[in-house]
A and B are shown apart, each in its own frame.
Chain A
Amino acid sequence: MTTAEALGTRPEQTRARYPDEEGYVERDGVRVFWERYGEGEPTILFLPTWSIVHSRIWKLQIPYFARHFQALAFDPRGNGRSDRPADAESYAEHEFAADALAVLDATGTERAAIVSLSLGAQRALLLAAEHPERVAGAVFIGPSLSLGDLHSDREAVLAFDQELATNEGWAKYNRHYWLRDYTGFLEFFFSQCFTEPHATKQIEDAVGWGLETSPQTLILTETAPGLRTREETLAVCGRVRCPVLVLHGDEDAIRPHAHGAELAELTGGTLVTLEGSGHIPLARDPVKVNLLIREFVESLERRAA
Chain B
Amino acid sequence: MGESLVLAAEHPERVAGLVLIAPPVPVAGREEPPYSFDDVLDTEEGWAKENRHYWLRDWPGYLEHFFSECFTEPHSTKPIEDAVGWGLETDAETILAGFRGWDTKELDAEATVALSARIRCPVLVIHGTEDALVEPERGIALARELDAPVTLLEGSGHGPHVRDPVRVNLMLRDFAGLSPEPRKWTRAKSRRKRALYVSSPIGLGHAQRDVAIAMELRKLVPDLEIDWLAQHPVTAVLEAEGERVHPLSAELANESGHIESESAEHDLHCFQAWRRMDEILLANFMVFHDVVSEEHYDLWIGDEAWELDYYLHENPEEKRAAYVWLTDFVGWLPMPDGGEREAFLTADYNAEMIEHIARFPRVRDRALFVGNPEDVVPDSFGPELPAIRDWTEQHYDFAGYVTGFEPVADRERLRVELGYAPGELVCIVTVGGSGVGADLLRRVIAAFPEARELVPELRMIVVAGPRIDPASLSAEDGLEVRAYVHNLYRHLGACDLAVVQGGLTTAMELAANRRPFLYFPLRHHFEQNFHVLHRLERYGAGRAMDFETATPTVIARAIAEEIGREVDYLPVETDGAAKAAARIAELL
Contacts and interface: CB of A to CB of B under 8 A. Distances in A.
Contact of A288 (B185, B189, B190, B191): B185
A272 B182 contact: yes
Contacts of B187: 196, 274-277, 284-285
A52 B187 CA distance: 26
B183 interface: yes
A253 to B, nearest CB: 15
B386 interface: no
Contacts of A272: 181-185
A139 to B, nearest CB: 13
The 4 closest A-B pairs by CB, nearest first: A276-B190, A276-B187, A275-B186, A305-B122
B74 interface: no
B410 to A, nearest CB: 51
A165 to B, nearest CB: 37
B177 A302 contact: yes
A276 B181 contact: no
B185 A274 contact: yes
Chain B contact-residue range equals: 10 to 19
Interface of B: 122, 177, 179, 181-187, 189-191
Contacts, number: 41
Contacts of A196: 187, 189
A299 interface: yes
A42 to B, nearest CB: 16
A155 B580 CA distance: 54
Interface of A: 196-198, 270-277, 284-285, 288, 292, 295, 299, 302-303, 305
B74 to A, nearest CB: 35
Contacts of A302: 122, 177
A270 B181 CA distance: 8
A302 B189 CA distance: 34
Contacts of B190: 275-276
A248 B426 CA distance: 67
Nearest to A288: B185
B493 to A, nearest CB: 47
Given A276-B191, A295-B179, 10 more contacts: A270-B183, A272-B183, A273-B184, A273-B185, A274-B186, A275-B185, A276-B186, A276-B190, A285-B187, A302-B122
Output the residue of B122, B181, B185, B189 with the most chain A CB within 10 A.
B185
Nearest to A251: B190
A197 B190 CA distance: 10
Contacts of A198: 189
A299 B177 CA distance: 7
A277 B187 CA distance: 7
A190 B190 CA distance: 20
B177 A273 contact: no
A274 B296 CA distance: 13
Contacts of B185: 272-275, 288, 292
A303 B122 CA distance: 9
Contacts of B179: 295
Given A299-B177, A305-B122, A273 B183 contact: yes
Contacts of B182: 272, 292
19 contacts: A196-B189, A271-B183, A272-B181, A272-B184, A272-B185, A273-B184, A274-B185, A274-B187, A275-B184, A275-B187, A276-B186, A276-B187, A288-B185, A292-B182, A295-B179, A299-B177, A302-B177, A303-B177, A305-B122
Contacts of B122: 302, 305
A299 to B, nearest CB: 7
Nearest to A304: B122
Contacts of A270: 181, 183
Nearest to B190: A276
A270 B122 CA distance: 23
Contacts of A292: 182, 185
A250 to B, nearest CB: 9
Nearest to A275: B186
A282 to B, nearest CB: 13
B245 to A, nearest CB: 23
Contacts of A288: 185
Contacts of B177: 299, 302-303
A197 B183 contact: no
A292 B184 CA distance: 11
A285 B188 CA distance: 9
A262 B434 CA distance: 53
Contacts of A276: 186-187, 189-191
A270 B180 CA distance: 11
